[in-house]
Each structure stands twice: as structure tokens, then as C-alpha cells.
Homo-oligomer: A and B are copies of this chain.
Amino acid sequence: MRINGQQYRTIWLTDSTDVDDITDIKIKSVSIIDQTKLPHRFVVTQINMLDQMVVAIKTMQVRGAPLIGAAAAYGMALAVQQDGSDASLESAATHLIHSRPTAINLRWAVQRMLDVLQPLPVARRNEAAWFEAAVICNEDVELNRMIGAHGLHLIAPLAAQQSRAINILTHCNAGWLATVDFGTALAPIYAAHDAGIAVHVWVDETRPRNQGASLTAWELAQHGVPHTVISDNAGGHLMQKGAVDMVIVGADCVTLTGDVCNKIGTYLKALAAFDQNVPFYAAVPSPTIDWSIEDGVKSIEIEERDAREVAWMTGRLASGEIAEINILPPGTKVANPAFDVTPARLVTGIITEQGIYAPHELNAMQR
């Protein structure tokens, strides 16, 4: 997608001029867009070592399930570049997997890297790791392009019945910033917009980290898609008033049975959509489906994140300077569960690269 008119992905390989003394191989590093700085500053950060990538994932400089997967793959490559031994591989895998417990793509990408690298002799692992990480990135782009193509088939018929823009509500950021490119939840929206269909996006602010207000609003603006930011509290009312034609969210994990684990607050929007007969979709690439989990509410471990995320907020002062403020009375106790699980009974369908499935049909998908 474009930033200020220039083509970008969210993660890419940086060819360094440094050359390894012994192997004579160019040392590689990875560039990411530091998403904690958006929408106020556009900062590209270079990642040279595994530990930096673990920090980038933990602090959400990179976030979004598919992008975390890609970042983890490159994290493995960075680890192998330094030390290709079995011990190094295992240690890197452990570190990466523990950086965000809920992210199934992360475990999936790390396991895939292990499956490719472990059978190889140590000397061949470096090249293979960089190659495989790039393949994972390219596959993600292709999966998302397909999600967009399938999702377009939900939006186009609605648009054909209406002379107004189709209103789609989304929560958090499952746009191209959450993936390597195109996005998941926003892929159908970009596909529709690019096909000349009038769409308008209700962007949930998405407290506590404000990914909607800061990331989704920013990337939609960069691409020219009309949108309006609302507080997370407003979506139910808008659905009640007929102002929402469809909800599309991403997911950090979808279970075999179609339960959707996504950013905290998704469950509330799904309840409102169900109550108001608004179709509710989760858009995910198939690696986001955890075929081992049946009951998402019971089985999925919900990450409890730092109280600081609720207490402190970043923005621009009237002067334009970036500042962080604390909105709570001093000493206030905070709870910060980062995700919730929307039971399949509230989900209209799962938009995947293979097509659109009702929750109970997921089992029929190619794994």
C-alpha cells in the first residue's frame, strides 16, 4: 500500500554494506515501520538482532497477527545469522513464542521456520532462513489479496442495492499495517474502494491502545477511503440506528468451531450486530485458525497487558509536539485484558483466502 504516494510493505529486508569476516556473506537486517509512533510520526526502524525483534513484538512496534508471524520468521532468521546451532534455534523459538502469548500466527511461523531449518546442516541454515521468511511474507500478501477478492463479493451486492456508500464498522487495526500488505479485515474494503464501490468505514477508536484511531484512520486516509472515527462505545447505537451495513474485524485466533479471538471489545460489537441483524465477519488467513481448539471462551489464554496502556495516552499537544499524559487519578488500579473471544453463535462468517465460511463449515476447509 502507499504512504505519501510511495509503495511500502510493513516489513522488508535491508541489505547492509556490512560483510561477515569469516563467511564473506553480507549481513542482513530487517526494516519495520515503528507503529507505536503512528499516526504522529512515520518512523522506520532497523532490526539487526533477535532480541530487538522480540522487543519490537512485545512493545507492539510491529503488531497484528499476520505481521507478528512475519516478524517472528525474520526474528528466527536474525537468530540463525548470529548462531545457526540447534540450541540457538530452540532458544530463539522460545523467546519469540513468549513475546505475545495469544498470537497463533507467531507460533505457526516459528514452527514453520523450525520445520524448515532443523533438518538442514548448520551451514545451510542462514540462507534457508532468510529465504523462508521472505516466502512467509509473500504468502501473507497473497493470502490477503485473496481475502480481499472474496470479501468484495459480500460488499458488491449490497452496493448494487443502495445508492449510498456501504457502511462497514471495524474494530482495532486489521489493515495493511497489521499484515505484510493489504490487511485482513480491511482487504475487502480496499478491494471495494479500488473497484469503484463507495464504502465508508466506522473506525472504532479501540482503547486502550487506540489502534483504530491511530493506525486504521491513518492507513485509510493514506489510501483515500472515507472513514469516521468513533469511540468504542458508539457502535451499538449506530447499529441500532441502521447506520452499519456490515462489521468486519480481523482475529488473532479463530478456533476450529468458529470462535473468534480478537482485540478486547470485539465481543461487545458482535453482540450488538447479532441483536440488530447486522452481518458480522472475521477476515483471517487460514494460518490464524487453530484447529486444536474447540471452545475458544474456555481454552484461549487471554493476555493481560500493562496497566500503563490504560493510564497513559500519547498524542500531539496544540504545539504539535508529541506528549504522553496520564488520565487517571494517581494510584488508580487498572485491569487490561487485551483480547476477548466472540462465540461462533454471533459470527456470520469467516472470510479466508479460500472463500467465506459459516463458522460450522470451517472444518471443511483445506488445512
Q: What is A's interface to B at a CB cutoff of 8 Å?
A: 39, 202, 205-208, 210, 213-214, 217-218, 221, 226-238, 240, 263-265, 267-269, 271-272, 275, 297, 302, 310, 312-318, 323-329, 331-337, 339-341
Contact = CB atoms under 8 A, between A and B. Distances in A.
Contact of A213 (B237, B265, B318, B327): B327
Contact of A229 (B210, B227, B328): B328
Contacts of A329: 39, 214, 217-218, 221
Contact of A327 (B313, B333, B337): B313
A237 B231 CA distance: 18
Contacts of A267: 236-237, 240, 272
Given A264-B237, A329-B214, A310 B231 contact: yes
Given A271-B271, A325-B315, A208 B221 contact: no
A310 B316 CA distance: 14
* Oligomeric state, in copies: 2
Main secondary structure of the interface of A (DSSP, over half): mixed
Given A233-B264, A316-B326, 11 more contacts: A39-B328, A207-B207, A208-B231, A221-B332, A227-B332, A230-B334, A232-B265, A236-B271, A237-B337, A313-B315, A313-B325
25 contacts: A205-B310, A208-B231, A213-B328, A226-B333, A227-B332, A228-B333, A228-B334, A230-B335, A231-B310, A232-B233, A232-B265, A233-B263, A233-B268, A234-B335, A237-B337, A237-B340, A268-B269, A268-B271, A271-B271, A313-B313, A313-B325, A313-B327, A314-B325, A315-B326, A317-B325
